[in-house]
Amino acid sequence: MKTTHIASLAFAAIFACATLQAVVVTITPSSTDWGNPSGENGGGGSSSITNTSPRSGNGSVELFGDRTRFVGLGNFYDPSSNLGLLSNLSSFTFDWSVALDSISSLGLNYTPALRLHLWDGAQRSELIWEGAYNAIGSVTKGDWYTTGGSDNFWQYQAGIGSTLIYDRDISEWQSIYSPTAYIAGISVGAGSSVGSDYHAFADNVTLTWKDGNSTTYNFETNNQGVSDTGSTSLLGLIALSSLIAARRLTHKRR
């Protein structure tokens, strides 16, 4: 009976975890759901996937100022572009690095920006991560950094501008937006007025949802495949642990 009970618990755990996925999606220059629209560049800015500074594989998004956006998953100017409710999001993170030759008009420690593009009724807005509002100290050029799940975002509203509030994380912004506010797209880039000599990189943009699922967009110069990093390995570990426990119990009964 004890062996049967352990097996039952194992199958229950496997069933519960089977729905949780930490998926890594490889994005290449040929991908159609990510790119750099010409209208999102200004002052000589541009962004593209290159192998200049690889992060998790053979590539990353290379960013040049003055202003650029590398846009993913939707058209954030279109209210019909709906990727999911803001209220269902748990965290929004990415990896970033400032190039060795970068010169910033906004200070030595200016970082790339991560943007969550939203619609709330007829109002379009952005929640924006930048290092200046997250106690980022001295930035070492050439090093890679990873943002945290509870980092702060500031808000820009189309037609209104910045709210001048810089100390709210995703959960706090969720209490301000309506329950029907939804994500229309995401992007990484460099902000306006940083200067044409700004040079940086971004990779591993991750959306994590409250149901435990997450998707990481990993930028590569060629296809590295799509992997499920969470559920498969976790199921294998559970199955192996359960098998070991069952065998130990059977051995004791002998």
Q: pLDDT digits over 11-44, tens only?
A: 444 444 446 799 999 999 999 999 999 899 999 9
Judge if 207 and 241 occupy the same domain: no
* Residue 58 to residue 131: CA distance in whole angstroms: 25
Average per-residue pLDDT in the chain?
Answer: 85
CATH of the domain at 27: 2.60.120
**Can you give the pLDDT at residue 5?**
45
Confidence of residue 228 (pLDDT cuts 50, 70, 90): very low
Span 58-67, average pLDDT: 96
State which amino acid sits at residue 37. Answer: P
**Can you give the pLDDT at residue 248?**
42
Judge if 194 and 247 occupy the same domain: no
User: Reduced to 3 DSSP states, what percent helix, strand and coil does the chain have, rounded to the nearest 5?
Assistant: 20, 35, 45
Count of Cβ atoms closer than 10 Å to residue 253 Cβ: 8
Task: Judge whether 170 and 38 are in contact, CB under 8 Å.
Answer: no
Q: Percentage of the chain with pLDDT > 90?
A: 71
**Can you give the pLDDT at residue 4?**
44
Span 126-152, average pLDDT: 95
Judge if 30 and 119 occupy the same domain: yes
**Can you give the pLDDT at residue 12?**
44
Confidence of residue 74 (pLDDT cuts 50, 70, 90): confident
Provide the greatest CA pair distance for the chain: 77
Judge if 38 and 152 occupy the same domain: yes
Span 226-251, average pLDDT: 40
Judge if 127 and 219 occupy the same domain: yes
Span 102-124, average pLDDT: 95
Q: Kindly tell me if the per-residue pLDDT of 48 is higher than 60.
A: yes
State which amino acid sits at residue 11. Answer: F
Judge if 115 and 196 occupy the same domain: yes
More confident residue, 249 or 179: 179
Could you identify the residue written with the tokens 């999911």? 84
Question: Any residues with CB less than 8 A from the CB of 213 and at least 6 apart, and which?
Answer: 19, 20, 21, 22, 23
Instruction: Output the six-digit token pair for 94.
Output: 């990415």
Instruction: Output the six-digit token pair for 125.
Output: 């807005």
> What sign for the dihedral angle of Cα 224, 225, 228, 233?
negative
Helix (H) or strand (E) run with residue 234 in it: helix 231-253
**Can you give the pLDDT at residue 224?**
55
Judge if 64 and 42 occupy the same domain: yes
CA-CA-CA-CA dihedral for 86, 150, 189, 220, to nearest 10: -90
Judge if 114 and 16 occupy the same domain: no
Judge if 116 and 211 occupy the same domain: yes
Range of the domain at 6: 1-20+230-254
Judge if 14 and 41 occupy the same domain: no
**Can you give the pLDDT at residue 20?**
77
Judge if 120 and 239 occupy the same domain: no
* Residue 245 to residue 161: CA distance in whole angstroms: 59
Could you identify the residue written with the tokens 């359960």? 242
Q: Kindly tell me if the per-residue pLDDT of 242 is higher than 50.
A: no
Question: Any residues with CB less than 8 A from the CB of 81 and at least 6 apart, and which?
Answer: 74, 75, 184, 185
> How many independent structural domains does the chain possess?
2
